[in-house]
Structure 1
């Protein structure tokens, strides 16, 4: 045990930097995996907790006021119901902020879909104008218990009595109205009613909706929302962040395992004689394996424990959503198990890769195998020793290992090199009688890293030398690729973290695209304007046309439509006219031009299992609407469950249809918030103006996540690069005598190692970029398809950025190799005797 510890301590002193990077990389990987777990728990468990505690309804159905909604309580599979509650749509304003809401008349606190109060108290008959706000709506209005809210366009006010959490779809500006519970006296003119169904079997949700439509009639159904939709919406960006962290965490763990495997394999090749000595003095193969295994497991344990402690102690203090996610996750039942299992899993994986590499050390024979001609003639020194002869003007130093006590004498003894060796080495004599014997090098036998089959220089290398390419560059390139399997393995290990960095850069660029060019991802409009009955279409257009910051206004309507099979509702949208079409961002197909043509989001195509070119039939009230899907639009709203056509097409079915909303495209440089305030003032309370929600706004934490992942991956790549440099330098020591003998200066010998490292890094950069760019597009588009937005949102880094990234990686690798290569090139010849014997 003492000898084992001394060996490990000596190795640690020799490779301090590599050990530090391994610890930091392991810590970064474990932190990423723990944060991914926290985000997954944060995305799913809060909604699930609320749904369970409030005994949430699996289906919420909005019906006409005259519908016999109470009949739904008698349907098979319906366990209990909430309501029906009279409801009305209106607008609330507070501190200059407005929001569309649904006032729901709730005479008493329900037992199904029971809101969970987070502040204040429930409705009180003593305060007839009191309301309870859904928590997200309260945050949007900056409202809290005791505040007074106004209803624009009227003299009415309401008082906030409480704030509550609900498992129903939450408030989203321009997409989903906020939920407000009020006494029946506060809803004097209801326009619809709402009923919630709690089912015996949640998997029968689709069938329950079909039965409800059959009982009430399609014309009585206004909108249907299910628990699956509410859960998916609640998870939202948190689940995406968790997926990104999990993906990169697993990828980084794999890259770290391969880097450790490569480091140990390279170290074993460089210490074969030392390992043989250990076995000769009594070490068993198992003990040798344990030396490497325990050493690297100790690094992994240190990094994993540090990561777990850091996440547990400071995780809730992380800025933004990450801190909130960790704080919630720490209170969940599975937190302790995950906090223990993830670091242990990472350590076990690294231990497994370490064991595979260390197993080779256990197979090293206790008697050192000669490296001379008997062993295959791997090094140049071995070939010099094996091929003696006469060759006037060509001399090399070939010390014999059997007389170590006479090194100084043998170092001064020139050994002539035969003509076959001259031809093999490929250099010519510069002048007869030249005692330096250096000449002009045009080629060289494969270095120590070459196997018996590597042979002479390739034809390409000889042609390069003939064209005057510096020998150091040619020999460095030849050193990189002379042992193909080993070189390919090194390039593959180094390319993996570079590949993941390219994917991370693509994710960053895609997020920037959402912010800088929203029109390319389905958000050409910056503002949405909703109108009420107090302002006509002509009056609204007049207000919008007077504002010089408004470049274009597209009138439209959006209604809920029942899909074929009547199992869910989708958004049917009519925007723009045939003469002034709305500029949809299309990823497939063409724009809708003719009558009955439409474009659809990916979420709708998946829901209906249709494709571009198909016809779909839907029901709006009692009227069917048949549309021909001619294109797929990038649709970030409503989970992509949107079908869009022109306002004129919808007017063909209903000539009296009037626009209820306007999508505004602003002039470059206009501030949406300022324009919204100006239009609200000009509309005298009849216009509800708000900015279009950009999905990238919820992904702002992803920037810091991506930056942290790039640092972790860079550390892993640095470990692999240091391993490759150390292996090249150690194996080049066998050729140091030969290279100096043929006249190469220390600077040229250094250039060989630097060139070899640069070529390895260049090959890894090319491979990582070539694979990483299409992989990033596929991953981002796959995420877009699963979220309903659709493929076509991926944006890769610019070619200039990729070139700069590749140049930085290659130059950095060459810079790291320069110092150890220079040290090795300036070593005394006597110090290299053990490397060639």
Structure 2
């Protein structure tokens, strides 16, 4: 007869003694659970930091500067002030006269926009970080936008030269701005006094709107008032924000996705560990019930145990992230440093670990509930073997004289289908996520090793300052044996239908020597009026391959037939590319503004860039093409860390499966010894069963992870404008190595406990059977 319920004090002491003895018996498993939880929570905290880092700096600058929601570049003769009278425009910046120029300092050059600013504006106000604002006493003084200053390594007091002229400009200050930052494809912003803008080629005006949601409508109205032929380029606050967030948001998404996936995998691993432990300790649980433990007390033992482990891991992750996070090299460390200064930092530092603990607690409760239902009187274990009778296939395999341990091990792995499938499913999840992570790693590596397949067939862009004509530049490029091909090109801003924004219209290559597009869909543009477009452009225009699209360049309409979709990593994919011949047919006076160079294999672009710069005697601007993967380098370390965390979770699940398999196989040891099997053969049965389980999980994880990884990467490429088609599968050798490591690891881990059980004393075996 069962004893009465234990008193509160006795129940607490008994629970503590049970928890302590269980901890001593499963130290390794507890350590792995704590480490896995710490890795998961650290990943989620870093993802939170990256999201805050991606959004907050730009938003802070935009708010403090009272940034303009729309910037419109027009021809000098346009009446830009008329846009200030449009409905919904709350304030304006400018108009300011602008001049396109090239500046150089200490051998570094950059394309810039000189903006004549008579006074510090109230809308789109530059936020000074160094130096001072423009002084009328220094007519050649300028203020550089901070990203341009970093690219030029310029500081207040430096002198900038304008190649091709005798002019010099003095850097008076450096300022942050919410406008698009400098890049080789985006001119840098330089504020100067109106007297320093000597050859204005246009003007720019900024519109601050009462309702930012009306941005597209405001652009449309402004273009209508100014006239499409007067508008050169339009940029909006959404584009600037997206460009500022850049790769940080992607890193945050990757960390968040894998962190949540790892958390789910860890929850299932904890659930499986408790369920397996309950099956192995039915007699102990019955004894606990018999001595007075209530079902609620038994459930609380398991629940509090694993909540303590999860809490320990979460607190360790939070403490380490808070103390050492900013010391992580590169962007992750910068993100943590910025995040720690944000208002929501303390809340996130508490909510993320608490959420992980609660999730693990939920999965623990579901499994521990079964422990509370164990009857206080031990139920005799079934006499039949766990695997049941041999199947026909197993008997035939034995008849073919296949090794008995191999046949019985496979049979044991396949028997008890519900339980075996649950084990395989729990082990499959971390393996599936590892395959997805390896796909992300391989895609980033392909951007570096084969940029031509990822939308970057050329390595360098060459522009002349006008002192060298096209024939001289062409001859100079043709004379360098390291240059495989030079494609003349021009890029202009074009208004999209509806006049709600501008896109990049690029004419590059000729029909005789076409540009080598990286196509993901359709075919290359070969005939007149044919073009290829990036995913961002197709999404913007709601168009598909095969459609005709109309755009406006100045006051000239351009109608193109989209025959293919190219992988376009620049300008958020809002690029339509055709041949230079097609653009010249519409504008015979159009000439190439730059050359894009395809180099021979194995050539260092930096050496070629230096040689061409010297050969041009200062009249050539040579820039390397921007590779999106350059900003994703920190992702490799992130992926490696995530793989380690997932491997740890898989190891926990594997140890759980091994422990459960060994305990359930103890009662078969007498029967196997009775038919003449040696301890080595009995051990081989358990090792084979565990290896088969791991092999099934590897096959399932690979089969599910490859298409899932491709879909997730292509979805990210589509949302960023690059477009689907960039995902790459890991190499078969890498997948085979991961699979072999999982299977061999399972075999090695199971060999020791299986051998110990097979060599157990007869009394121990009899007690396990009883």
TM-score (norm 2): 0.98
Distance in 2 (alpha carbons) for counterparts of 1:470 and 1:4: 47
* SS of the residue 2:747 aligns to: helix
| Greater displacement, 759-768 / 153-162 | 153-162
1:354 maps to 364
Other-structure match for 1:36: 47
Partner-residue secondary structure (3-state), 1:188: coil
Establish whether residue 18 from structure 1 lines up as the match of residue 12 from structure 2.
no
Structure 1 position 458, deviation (Å): 1.4
Offset of residue 685 of structure 1 = 2.5
Alignment partner of 2:250 out of 236, 240, 250: 240
**Does the 8 Å contact 1:77/1:201 carry over to 2?**
yes
Distance 1:618 1:514 in 2: 31
| Aligned mate of 1:4, from 12, 15, 28 | 15
Aligned partners of 2:602, 2:362: CA distance in 1, in Å?
57
C-alpha displacement of 1:472: 0.5
- Indicate the residue corresponding to 2:112 in structure 1: 101
Corresponding residue for residue 486 of structure 1 = 419
Q: 1:211 aligns with which of 199, 214, 221?
A: 221
The equivalent position to 1:729 in structure 2, one of 650, 662, 666, is: 662
Alpha-carbon contact 1:508-1:703 (below 8 Å) kept = yes
CA distance in 2: counterparts of 1:299 and 1:162, whole angstroms? 54
Name the SS of the counterpart of 2:728 in structure 1: coil
Once residues 463 and 770 of structure 1 are traced to their aligned partners in structure 2, the CA distance between those partners, rounded to angstroms, is 30
Match of 2:5 in 1: none
* Aligned counterpart in structure 2 of residue 265 of structure 1, from 275, 281, 286: 275
1:666 to 591, 599, 603: 599
Counterpart-to-counterpart distance in 2, 1:500 and 1:203? 38
Q: Could you list the structure 1 runs, at least 4 aligned residues long, displaced by more than 3 angstroms after superposition.
A: none
- What is the deviation of 1:699? 0.4
| Residue 521 of structure 2: aligned partner | 588
Tell me if structure 1 keeps the 8 A contact 2:495–2:553.
yes
Shift, 1:192, TM fit: 0.4
1:568 has 2:501 as partner: yes
* C-alpha contact (below 8 Å) 1:532/1:660 kept by paired residues: no
Partner residue of 1:716 out of 649, 658, 663: 649
* The one of 86, 96, 110 aligned to 2:97: 86
Q: 1:54: which partner in 2? A: 65
How far 1:531 sits from its partner (Å)? 2.1
Matched, 1:628 2:557: no
**Among 750, 757, 768, the residue aligned to 1:824:** 757
| Cα separation, 2, equivalents of 1:501 and 1:608 | 37
Q: Summarize deviations over 1:23-75 as a string: whole Å, max 9, x none.
A: 00000000000000000000001000000000000000000011000111100
Aligned partners of 2:228 and 2:469: how far apart in 1? 30
Alignment of 1:259-658 (within 5 A): 259-372=269-382, 377-378=383-384, 447-448=385-386, 450=387, 454=388, 456-658=389-591
Contact 2:68 2:124 in 1 (8 A): yes
TM-score (normalizing by structure 1): 0.90
Between the aligned partners of 2:402 and 2:740, the Cα distance in structure 1 is 21
Who is 1:67 aligned against? 78
1-structure distance, mates of 2:683, 2:495: 74
Looking at structure 2, the residues matched to 358 and 519 of structure 1 have their Cα atoms a distance apart, in angstroms, of 55
User: Any conservation in 1 of the 2:163–2:465 contact (CA below 8 Å)?
Assistant: no
Does structure 2 retain, via aligned residues, the 8 Å contact 1:557–1:660? yes
Q: What displacement does 1:495 show?
A: 0.5
Instruction: For 2:301 and 2:172, locate their aligned partners in 1 and report how far apart those are by CA, in whole Å.
Output: 68
Q: Indicate the residue corresponding to 1:387 in structure 2.
A: none
Aligned counterpart, 2:177: 166
> In the TM superposition, what is the alpha-carbon distance from 1:532 to its structure 2 partner?
2.9
Q: Deviations over 1:86-127 (max 9, x none)?
A: 001111111211111000000100000001111111111121
Instruction: Count the aligned residue pairs.
Output: 759
Give, in angstroms, the shift of residue 655 of structure 1.
0.8
Match of 2:746 in 1: 813
Residue segments in structure 1 that go unaligned for 5+ positions in a row: 379-446
Distance 2:509 2:294 in 1: 81
Measure the CA separation in 1 of the matches of 2:717 and 2:64.
Answer: 32
Distance 1:832 1:557 in 2: 83
Deviation at 1:13, TM superposition (A): 0.8
- Per-residue CA deviation, residues 683-731 of structure 1 (Å, 9 max, x unaligned), is 2222111000100000010011001001100100000000000000000
Which of 115, 123, 141 lines up with 1:112 in the alignment? Answer: 123
Summarize the alignment of residues 183-194 of structure 1 with structure 2, pairs less than 5 Å apart: 183-194=193-204
CA distance in 2 between partners of 1:247 and 1:371 (Å): 43
Q: Assess if the C-alpha contact under 8 Å between 1:148 and 1:160 holds in 2.
A: yes
Rg larger for? 1
1:148 and 2:81 are equivalent in the alignment: no
Q: Measure how far apart 1:800 and its partner are.
A: 1.4
Distance 1:58 1:662 in 2: 34
Q: Structure 2: give runs of 5+ residues left out of the alignment.
A: 1-11
